[in-house]
Structure 1
């Protein structure tokens, strides 16, 4: 049975990527990256696998 992937906070996801929490939050705010989930509190949750895919696509498009 497959276990669902754990969703990460912005700080946790940023640490995995080697960028600051503020940078990841800015990328999301600017629409460059899309979080997996936005909680009613406004906090974001990220799938690391999906986030890495988005970052790869962003680099391929010549983004930051």
Structure 2
């Protein structure tokens, strides 16, 4: 079902150990992309996918 297992920006940030503002900035900079953006413009994140995306960024930068 679409949307199941997705969390808010604050919850996703907490799950990966960064502040909400940091994750929002990474999104604004195009470093990460939320799984879903609601009609109201709120991001919803799949934390496992976010972790994979961040791991790929680290590998790319090494």
Tell me the TM-score normalised to structure 2 length. Answer: 0.89
Any gaps of 5 or more consecutive residues in structure 2? none
* Structural RMSD (CA): 1.6
Q: Distance in 2 between matches of 1:12 and 1:39?
A: 16
CA offset digits 1:11-60 (Å, max 9, x no partner):
00000000000000010111000100001111100001110100100111
- Say whether residues 1:33 and 2:38 are aligned partners: no
Find the residue that maps to 2:61 and give its secondary structure.
coil
Match of 2:11 in 1: 12
Moved over 3 A (4+): none
Between Structure 1 and Structure 2, which shows a larger proportion of helix residues? Answer: 2
